[in-house]
Structure 1
Amino acid sequence: MIKNLFIAIAFALMLINPSISIAAESPVDVQEIFVGSETMDGDSLKYPKGKAEIRLQRVELAEGGVVPLHSHPIPLLGNVEQGTIVVKRQGMEDLTYTAGDTFIVGPKTPKHTMGNAKTDNAVVWFAAIGAKDVPILIPAEG
């Protein structure tokens, strides 16, 4: 009982301050993987107004798969689980991300495509905290 209470208190403290770690004897292992406050383009994160909504998406790109030219009205946190992707931004250098890489895309990121750079499938997870009814992706016109 006391051990469970200790674990619950440690977890609550960790939520308040993520730098606090859980005791070594605990079966819970929390690892901070990524922290960021700027997009891949160096823009500070800002959230839209409205009722908050959290989303998580898994995007799988087969060989030759490309998400067509688009933009994002809200910040997205991306993590490449498998494969290699290339983000091609209009008027900017291409960015390549491989398994284990994490990045942030935001509203000021130029219109871009995201494609599989290899022959094996690529898998990217995207998390977003935005406003209800605000889309994650806006296709480019034309």
Structure 2
Amino acid sequence: MEAVFFIFFFLIFGFIVSIFYKIISNGIIEKRKNDKAPILQIPVVVVEKRVKTNTSTSMNDDNYNDSSTWHTYKITFEHLHTGIRHTFTMNESKFDKIIEDDIGYLTYQRKRYHSFQRDEGAAEFENDASSRGDLQFKIEE
């Protein structure tokens, strides 16, 4: 009976170790790919901002609930010429400086967000329909 327990224990232990190995190696591979990618700057419009609230609750030894809350901030940018969308997770201070429907230049490196610079001439650009040329704008309802 002890042999079955040890076999079962080592199978579970090996499974858990392999999952941790896979998670860590995927993170390292992703970081290397991001580091090797070129830094690009493209014209975009901000199409969506979202905040996800995460809460964790646990019971401590004194029967009090311990809870913690954190937020994940994501912004989706759409390339003005191709319509390709890029979504990035960022911190709250960067998130707060960007407004939906902003037009500007996104600087990024594969899946790594660097910056967004608002195009100061975008207000005139949006109001003058003749200057839009062949740019396509998508309006989501």
How high is the TM-score relative to the length of structure 1?
0.23
**Larger Rg, first or second structure (1 or 2):** 2
How high is the TM-score relative to the length of structure 2?
0.23
Q: Which has the higher contact order (CA 8 A, sep 6+)?
A: 1
